Amino acid sequence: MHALKKEKLLFAHYFTIIYLSRSTIAQYFGNKVFTFGSGCKCVDIKTKCSYQSYFSTHKTSFLVYKTHLLIFKNKLDLDRKIFSMDFKIELTEESRLNTVDFSNLVFGKVFSDHMLVADFENGKWNTPQIKPYGKFLVAPSMSALHHAQSIFEGLKVYKNENGDILFFRLEENQKRLNVSAERMCMPAVPKEIFIQGIKKLVEIDKAFIPSGDGLSLYVRPIYFATDEAIGVKASQNYRLIIFTTPTGPFYSEPLKVKIETHYSRSAEGGTGYAKAAGNYGGSFYPTKKAMEEGFQQLIWTDAKENKYVEESGAMNLMFAFDDVLVTPSLSASKLAGITRDSIITLAKSLGIKVEERNISVDEIIEKHEQGKLKEAFGVGTAAVIAPIAIIGYKGQTINLPAIADTNISRIIALELQKIRTGQTADKFGWMEKL
Ligand code: PLP
Ligand code: COI
């Protein structure tokens, strides 16, 4: 039996024993309660983690951590430096890790072991819980099911070659969630619940973060009304759930999209700028109709005149007219994409001219006829950069030039990937290491 130094505390594996000298225990667990005795249970009162602890010899005690997740790396330091919040933590007894085929990841089909659940009840937030990912009971009268007071977010976490865990612009998602919450008449989610909750969750489930080209852990926060009441009014109670899914590319090939001129995703004054669940539900029917015509996605146009393009599916939209990157300016009917903002910033830093303005369907056709329409692509967290190969409009089709390495979208996609995986300097301060 030997004592490990604090910096050598790496992983606790399934029933791996970590040896700690009593002084180390005092140093790390000073604010927590541990009782030692043969076979007695220890509870870390800060995280509510439950450890099995056994007393040993005079100078050395050891802990047996009862999980097969590798969650202990620098855990104690993390507890102290990052997590000022309390979380109630219940770890899974049975990991799903070995059911995940990391060589064949599709978007949003497999889920990591744990989820965070935080309830807003009686006017205040309860202590968030991290518990095994799983189903929960819902009353038929639950408000969100009736009136769609329900919003969500999407963000990605990467692992670099050194195994560091990197969050991409997490705070932007936190801010946007509360922009959506305000629009949907829901209480703001406290920053520390969102940020620290995601970090804690990801730390616990870090074995699910894939590494490799185009691979990441997608984090999905959902936030919805939970009143058991069907009166048409804002709920009093809400639930935030955050879960994660190891993920690969969203689209496997360049898209065939149709410019939609009848149905609208959102209108000025509507909820388009919020990441409101109903915006997506309302888009399925027109998308299905376009799919029946052989398209994969829509390009939405403005609700008033159906004259200006807005977004494509659940992505912002960009074009290269010759060597200028042109994208619809933001408005109340469009979601302010974090990828969009990152691409604009990157493009400008690379000396590419960027225009944010209205783009009419007529202009797209005209640019195509003049041979100036070089690229069209959607941009978003899930899809990152999705090139468009064909645009359909009122029975006509516009074929975009074949994708080349010199394309603006390719150059920027590569640059973004390098920043996200730590292969190039993060001069914009977008990445945050856990
Ligand atoms: N537009 C819509 C409607 C979306 O759902 C998304 C996806 O989140 C985006 C744009 C892109 O936003 P972001 O880049 O922040 O993911
Ligand atoms: C995202 O890109 O994160 C989205 O939320 C789009 C889609 C998966 C709904």
pLDDT, one tens digit per residue, over 112-155 is 999 999 999 999 999 999 999 999 999 999 999 999 999 999 99
Q: Does residue 152 lie in a domain region?
A: yes
Are 329 and 405 in a shared domain? yes
- Number of the ligand 2 atom closest to the C-alpha atom of 380: 2
Q: Does residue 364 lie in a domain region?
A: yes
Q: Does residue 92 lie in a domain region?
A: no
Half-sphere exposure of 400 (CA within 13 A, CB side): 24
Are 240 and 260 in a shared domain? no
Q: Does residue 56 lie in a domain region?
A: yes
102: left (phi over 0), alpha (psi -120 to 50) or beta: alpha
The pLDDT, as a whole number, for residue 106 is 87
Are 349 and 262 in a shared domain? yes
Question: From the CA of 191, how far away is ligand 2's center (Å)?
Answer: 21
- Number of the ligand 1 atom closest to the C-alpha atom of 272: 3
CATH number at residue 401: 3.20.10.10
> Distance between the two ends of the chain, CA-based, in angstroms?
31
Q: Is 395 helix (H, G, I), strand (E, B) or coil?
A: coil
Residue 60 bridge partners (DSSP): 21
Question: From the CA of 315, how far away is ligand 1's center (Å)?
Answer: 5
Are 264 and 144 in a shared domain? no
Q: Whose CA is nearest to atom 5 of ligand 1?
A: 314
pLDDT confidence of 252, banded at 50, 70, 90? confident
Q: Which residue has the higher pLDDT, 84 or 7?
A: 84
Q: Does residue 337 lie in a domain region?
A: yes
Are 34 and 117 in a shared domain? no
Among 310, 339, 341, residue to substitute to test ligand 1 (most atoms within 8 Å of Cβ): 339
What's the rounded mean pLDDT across residues 290-311?
A: 97
Identify the weakest region by mean pLDDT among 24-38, 65-79, 222-236, 378-392: 65-79
Q: Does residue 88 lie in a domain region?
A: no
Are 195 and 266 in a shared domain? no
Are 235 and 127 in a shared domain? yes
Q: Does residue 90 lie in a domain region?
A: no
Question: From the CA of 311, how far away is ligand 1's center (Å)?
Answer: 9
Q: Which amino acid is at 433?
A: K
- Residue whose C-alpha is closest to residue 339's, from 385, 299, 300, 374: 385
Are 211 and 267 in a shared domain? no
Are 276 and 356 in a shared domain? yes
The pLDDT, as a whole number, for residue 12 is 34
pLDDT, one tens digit per residue, over 179-219 is 999 999 999 999 999 999 999 999 999 999 998 888 999 99
What's the rounded mean pLDDT across residues 32-48?
A: 37
CATH number at residue 194: 3.30.470.10
What is the Cα 371 distance to its own chain's centre? 37
Burial class (CB in 10 A: 0-12, 13-18, 19+), 410: middle
pLDDT confidence of 83, banded at 50, 70, 90? low
Question: Domain boundary at 193, 215, 247, which?
Answer: 247
Residue located via tokens 């102290």: 80
CB of 125 within 8 A of CB of 190?
yes
Question: Domain boundary at 83, 118, 139, which?
Answer: 83
pLDDT, one tens digit per residue, over 367-394 is 999 999 999 999 999 999 999 999 999 9
- Number of the ligand 2 atom closest to the C-alpha atom of 280: 9
Answer whether 337 contacts ligand 1 (Cβ < 6 A): yes
Residues with CB under 6 A from ligand 2: 154, 314, 380-382
The mean pLDDT value of the chain amounts to 84
Are 202 and 260 in a shared domain? no
Domain, as residue range, for 289: 255-433
Question: From the CA of 350, how far away is ligand 1's center (Å)?
Answer: 23
Share of the chain above pLDDT 90, in %: 71
Question: From the CA of 335, how far away is ligand 1's center (Å)?
Answer: 6
Dihedrals φ, ψ of 50, to 5°? -110, 125
Identify the weakest region by mean pLDDT among 175-179, 272-276, 310-314, 416-420: 416-420
Q: What is each CA distance from 12 to 68, 173, 348, in whole angstroms?
A: 8, 32, 46
Q: Which residue has the higher pLDDT, 237 or 3?
A: 237
Identify the weakest region by mean pLDDT among 190-194, 317-321, 424-428: 424-428
Ligand whose nearest atom lies closest to the CA of 219: 2
Number of separate domains in the chain: 3
Are 40 and 149 in a shared domain? no
Are 314 and 424 in a shared domain? yes
Dihedrals φ, ψ of 188, to 5°? -65, 145
Q: Does residue 89 lie in a domain region?
A: no
Question: Domain boundary at 19, 52, 83, which?
Answer: 83
